[in-house]
Structure 1
């Protein structure tokens, strides 16, 4: 875990984003979180700002415009971005979704928590991976 990790979060659910960011900052006040509301905005930002690379990307699957599967594929297909660890975060616990993400190169797959305690535990795990 880095002392000052940079984590990019792509998720269209504002409540989930806020819960995750709050828990990350509560556990490490030096964490830098940048959020994106879909995969298209995330990819465009990474392409336009090559000097701003995160230590970790947290990616929701079900987003408008560009979903997490397509975004993960684009990240792992780009030689300049493929090295960035991607954590998939989804409401789906379907085995085929998990397997698909793992085959596409995601670092880990977490089911979205349904409780405040779950978001606390998720934040702790993400900080260990950053």
Structure 2
């Protein structure tokens, strides 16, 4: 299978650049857009007739709102949502998965970490 289309929600300026470049460098994903927050992501989804990502990746803080919005939307509920956070306690992971997240990652702090996450996500989505 070819590249998957991904829509990302990330509010940290440095994080946006790092995640976009890292995911693009893997050759596995087309980064369609990076939204600064959940509301911007909702606007992107609602205003685009052609934007339909294969997956949405969201920081857990945004993830709660995004998960609720997507999983209660007839138009978007089938889009897999993957979340990530700095928290290693499992609280974010449990809450996100209860709300319908496909998977939760611990937020990487480097390009190689994001590339590894991209590969794991790609394999997960393709069932490998």
TM-score (norm 2): 0.86
Segments of structure 1 that go 5 or more residues without pairing to the other structure are none
Residue from 85, 89, 106 that aligns with 1:90: 85
Matching of residue 42 in structure 1 with residue 37 in structure 2: no
Q: Which runs of structure 2 are paired with 1:1-130 in the superposition (5 Å)?
A: 2-28=1-27, 31-62=30-61, 67-128=62-123, 129=125
Provide closer, same or farther for how the CA distance between residues 30 and 89 of structure 1 changes in structure 2, counting only shifts above 3 A: closer
Q: Secondary structure at the match of 1:31?
A: strand
1:51 deviation in Å? 2.8
Segments of structure 2 that go 5 or more residues without pairing to the other structure are none
TM-score (norm 1): 0.85
Name the Cα RMSD after superposition. 1.8
Range with bigger deviation, 22-31 or 34-43: 22-31
Quick one: distance in 2 between partners of 1:87 and 1:29? 16
Provide closer, same or farther for how the CA distance between residues 73 and 23 of structure 1 changes in structure 2, counting only shifts above 3 A: same
Equivalenced residue count is 125
Quick one: distance in 2 between partners of 1:33 and 1:51? 11
1:46 deviation in Å? 0.7
